[in-house]
Chains A and B, each alone.
Chain A
């Protein structure tokens, strides 16, 4: 790097930057950009004002339109009594082609590979190519398939709560500090430590007040943690502290739609930013299990785990517990 090149990569620089100093710079840049647009194209502001839309609210406006569109389409396609007329998972299932490879694996008695093949085959037939919020009947169908093939009861809507989308992109996150003084070396093996430690805390702060209070459960919670965009929930600001408590360490199942790998994780942070193009995040261990050590980003389904008695363990989903009979009966019912 040349001596004159911006040296924003050094730790020294990072440590001198504060949220407030960045905020001030961004505010200036924001004003500059808004004025430039206003001066160059004054009619734009007039037009948008007439429509009651500010450029600053473009993303919220999009969320509102997408949400309304999904709802309206759902009502048109499936009027209020839609639950009664929704096709069963078996009905829908028959409409999708299961790959020959999956069938062979089922007949060979390889239940684990068969279940995964069946899931990925279903996903590739059923899911749209680009991630988007799914319709209620699509969610219902996927809930049934995933519940049947993994043996874990999952829900897109649990106790009335629903994420903005259950089909999105996940990105790799760093380890979270579990208690004051926690160090990276305490987190898994060297491969798990490669992602580093987030300098800030998770959305719910430390997991424990000190190292002696860190229970095995909390160790597992950090190890298998998930990040979801709670801040973009339309009712996040109006339903506090209920929502913050409801989402804290809430179990979710994350399924890699490309290979069927699935993990049960606990929500322990909020993000990522909308502009990153990602909708969820996963701890180094979660990402490693979903797609291997080089897996940094990809499409996934995220469901709440319906586990009122806290029996489902965090970590990789054990396909071995799925009976072969169930898989075969699902296909031919």
Chain B
């Protein structure tokens, strides 16, 4: 089992539906899921580090490295970050989903236009 402290904010139902409609092998689907997962990791970390005061970056990264699943990380971030973390993480993830879906529609349109 794998868990990351921000998993509870990940809700990608539209993307999940789109992927489930694909005629793809199990390995192909797994690779797509993994890419989405990794995009989220980069974006969420970027988002958190932008809001977190720089003096706390190292402490946060040490905690992340030792227990990436721990909800204590959220408690820590809530103490150190002024913005409402529940809202901005949910919004960031929703925004990633929308961007990806938009890109996929773009793929379809450009093919159609040709």
Q: Which A residues form the contact surface with B (CB < 8 A)?
A: 6-8, 13-14, 16-23, 25-27, 29-30, 33-34, 36-37, 40-41, 43-44, 47-48, 51, 53, 55-56, 58-63, 65-67, 132-133, 164-165, 168, 174, 198-200, 203, 231-232, 269-277, 279
In the bound complex, residues from chain A placing their C-beta under 8 Å from that of B102 are 6
Q: Give chain A residues whose Cβ lies under 8 Å from the Cβ of B26.
A: 203, 231, 269-271
B29 touches A19 (CB 8 A): yes
* Interface residue ranges of B1-34 to A (CB < 8 Å): 1-4, 7-8, 10-12, 14, 16, 18-26, 28-33
Q: Once the chains are docked, how many angstroms separate the CA of A133 from the CA of B69?
A: 12
B100: which of A29, A65, A164 is its contact (CB, 8 Å)? A29
Say whether B49 contacts A41, CB under 8 Å. Answer: yes
Task: Pick from B2, B30, B31, B39: contact of A29, CB below 8 A.
Answer: B39
A97 to chain B, nearest CB (A): 27
**Which residues from 35 to 62 on chain B have a C-beta closer than 8 Å to any C-beta of chain A?**
35-43, 45-46, 49-50, 57-58, 61
- In angstroms, Cα B19 to Cα A275, docked, is 13
Residue numbers in A under 8 Å from B69 (CB-CB): 62, 65-66
Known: A44-B57, A51-B65, A275-B36. A33 touches B43 (CB 8 A): yes
Interface residues of B (CB under 8 A from A): 1-4, 7-8, 10-12, 14, 16, 18-26, 28-33, 35-43, 45-46, 49-50, 57-58, 61, 65-69, 99-105, 107-108, 111-112
Q: Are A13 and B105 in contact (CB under 8 A)?
A: yes
Q: Choose among B2, B32, B42, B68 the residue that contacts A22 (Cβ–Cβ < 8 A).
A: B32
Contacts of B58 in A (CB 8 A): 47
> How many Å from the CB of B100 to the closest CB on chain A?
6
Helix, strand, loop or mixed for chain A's interface? helix
**Closest beta carbon of chain B to A223's beta carbon, Å:** 19
Which A residues lie within 8 Å of B67 (CB)? 65
B62 CB, nearest partner CB in chain A, Å: 8
Note all chain B residues with C-beta closer than 8 A to A132.
1, 3
Indicate if the CB atoms of A19 and B28 lie closer than 8 Å.
yes
